Amino acid sequence: MPSEGGPELEVAPAGVAVSEPIGGSPAGGALAAGAQGMVYVSANPGTFPDALSATVANSATGESVTAAIVDGGFDPVALAGSPGDELEITVRFADGTSVRYVDTVPKRKRPRVVRTRPSKDAVDVTLNSTAVVVFSEPIDEGTITFDNIRLQLDGAPVDATLILEDGGLQAELVPELPLEPGTTYILEVTTEIRDLAGDSLEEPVTLSFRTLTALSNQIVFVSHSQDDWENGIYNNEIHVMNADGSGVVKLTDHLADDRSPAVSPDGTRILFQTDRDGNGEIYAMNADGSGLVNLTNHPADDGGPVWSPDGSRFLFWSDRAGNSEIYGMNADGSGLARLTHHLANDRGPTWYPDGTKIAFESHRGAVACAIWIGVEACADIIVMNADGSNPVNLTNTPTVSEERPTWSPDGMKIAFDSDRDACDPPCDFSDIFVMNADGSNMFKVSDPQWGGYGPRWSPDGTRITFTAAAGGAAVWVVNADGSNPVNLTADALIPAQWPIWSPDGSRIAFNMVGPISEFEAADNFEVFMINVDGSSLVNLTNRRGFEDYAMSWSPQR
């Protein structure tokens, strides 16, 4: 680092770019020699490592401007100046020190690329990324063409929209489709790009970046050793496997309990709940288990993450307010928002298909109801806007319980389980109901003899699968109007539960435990799969001594 303070100013490093004066606006173009105009100052990433900000001052005009430093550089800032003016650049650091540099406004200067996003050799680039090029001064819009800025995959151009923005300082390529996962792309910027004075780019830029790996039609599940569990070691780990049971990969490896995995809509990220910090936290990781990050980072217990339909946010429950409330957060951990405010426990949130509303269960009933985690106040189904506003109680039955709401794919209906027709509370027997999204036209779709819980809509919204609640758990499927109920696991003669649909709706994965005639006798949970017509029952995990459950089926790309 140059010496601090003193009468001598250090010459600005090569990463700093100072443009010639330009007309009062980018449209004003080049100026006559010696005329005053707007001067643009920038610094490439890495120019000022560990610095916080930079102030550029023109002693000739008395004007100054301050820029935040990100990754050791800053994007162009503008101030008035003439050729020959000396600019003082004061760079400040977190420890309170500062370093001063000097540069001179040139009569003529070729533009350069200040930075790109993604950066050179970037990895784990998200699939919804655009390609951004930031220039050191405004660029002639006529030179921003697909010949001069190219995003390529295997030598072929990526279909995209190309726009010039931020007053001519930034070009952005917006791909028409999401980027391919686990793929290397090439971004090229040629010297045919010119500034408003007609000067060509100082040098071309060619860089590569690689996108995140994504899961496609794979099953993520939780597993633990039976021996560990029996010895009080609660060490769930998260695994992924292909839909045929092959290629099992352990994604987490920690002595703590990792559970409740949720795969992002694009298959690149997995949210999960863990107690590795001594309390429940929501972590995120890449689809291959890398890039682990604690998103919630709070001493309270947080759990039950649920992705928004576009993957930009997620919901979770937390007891940080003293009881279970529903919160929302951006996928990177920013933008925390408390969405519910009630003394009752709120949990089990589920997104409306377009992400504008949220349904959840709220245990604000007048009496106690038996639920799957114990006895608690009876629950109602509440719907609110995605920002937590306008909560509406759709069921409003204080002496019976409605739980586990789930929206139909078209958002027109909500399926849920309820004990309203089962018995006087408290009881542990429920049925599957469907109602319109406004709470009207409620009807039962489960067999009255068997009941059910945990409804899941098929991807096309025509059918619902669920777990039967009486007579030993079984996996059923029924038409959305309640017709044609079928017990898919009737031949197994042992408990089966918690079914989920394959992305194409042709198969159902679920948990089953105990001996089956076609398989070796076992006493542990396994992940099974069956065709929706009840054929081709297959044990996917088939791991004696381990409990495998809590599945999440990734989207099919």
* Other beta carbons within 10 Å of 114: 24
Instruction: Specify whether the CB–CB gap between 487 and 532 falls below 8 A.
Output: no
Whether 145 is covered by a domain: the verdict is yes
Classify residue 428: in a domain, yes or no. Answer: no
377, part of any domain: no
Listed in sequence order, the residues at least 6 apart from 62 whose beta carbon sits closer than 8 Å to its beta carbon are none
The reply to whether 80 and 134 lie within a common domain is no
Domain shared by 175 and 242, yes or no? no
Lookup result for tokens 């009468």: 7
Give residue 282's domain range.
Answer: 213-308
Answer yes or no: do 237 and 204 share one domain. Answer: no
How far is residue 377 CA from its own chain's centroid? 33
User: Which of 308, 340, 361 is a domain's end point?
Assistant: 308
Q: Is residue 425 part of a domain?
A: no
Is residue 457 in a domain? no
Has residue 349 been placed in a domain? no
Phi-psi region of 60 (alpha: psi -120 to 50; beta: other; left: phi over 0): alpha
**52 and 17 inside one domain:** yes
| Residue from 6, 8, 11 nearest 102 by CA | 11
Could you tell me if 243 and 159 lie in one domain?
Answer: no
The owner of tokens 């007579």 is 471
Q: Identify the CATH number of the domain in which residue 86 sits.
A: 2.60.40
| Strands (DSSP E) found in 402-504 | 402-407, 413-418, 431-436, 443-444, 453-457, 463-467, 475-479, 486-487, 496-501
pLDDT given for residue 521 in this prediction: 47
Residues 234 and 547: their CA atoms lie apart, in Å, by 12
Beta bridge partners of 360: 382
pLDDT of residue 494: 78
- For residue 142, give the DSSP letter: G
Residue type, 342: H
Same domain, 198 and 245: no
Q: Strand ranges (DSSP E) for 251-312?
A: 258-263, 269-274, 281-286, 293-294, 302-307
**Final residue belonging to a domain, choices 289, 308, 327:** 308
Q: Do 129 and 161 share a domain, yes or no?
A: yes
Structure tokens at 195: 């500034």
Within-domain flag for 4: no
SS3 breakdown of the chain: % helix, strand, coil, rounded to 5?
5, 45, 50
Which of the listed residues 308, 328, 353 is the one where a domain comes to its end?
308
Question: CA torsion 261→265→266→271, rounded to 10°?
Answer: -30
Inside any domain, residue 284: yes
Paired residues of 275 in beta bridges: none
Does one domain contain both 135 and 181? yes
Number of domains observed in the structure of the chain: 3
466, 458 in Cβ contact below 8 A? no
Q: What pLDDT does 2 receive? A: 42
Q: Residues 51, 78: one domain?
A: yes
Pairing of strands 74-81, 37-43: antiparallel
pLDDT of residue 421: 77
Question: Strand 218-225 relative to strand 546-553: parallel, antiparallel, unpaired?
Answer: antiparallel
Q: Do 206 and 224 reside in the same domain of the chain?
A: no
Radius of gyration of the chain (CA): 30
CA 361 to each of CA 56, 156, 451: distance values in angstroms, whole numbers, following the listed order: 55, 50, 19
Q: Please list the pLDDT of the chain residue by residue as tens digits (557 residues).
A: 444 444 468 999 999 999 999 985 544 555 555 578 999 999 999 999 999 999 999 999 999 999 999 999 999 999 999 999 999 999 999 999 999 999 999 999 999 999 999 999 999 999 999 999 999 999 999 999 999 999 999 999 999 999 999 999 999 999 999 999 999 999 999 999 999 999 999 999 999 999 999 999 999 999 988 887 778 778 999 999 999 999 999 999 999 999 999 999 999 999 999 999 999 999 999 999 999 999 999 999 999 999 999 999 999 999 999 999 999 999 999 999 999 999 889 999 999 999 999 999 998 866 666 554 456 778 899 999 999 999 999 999 888 889 999 999 999 999 999 988 765 444 557 899 999 999 999 999 998 778 889 999 999 999 999 998 766 789 999 999 999 999 998 877 678 899 999 999 999 999 987 555 555 545 788 999 999 999 999 999 988 888 899 999 999 87
* Claim to verify: residue 197 and residue 239 sit in the same structural domain: no
Q: Are residues 155 and 185 in the same domain?
A: yes
What's the order of all strands across the beta sheet hosting 463-467? Answer: 453-457, 463-467, 475-479, 486-487
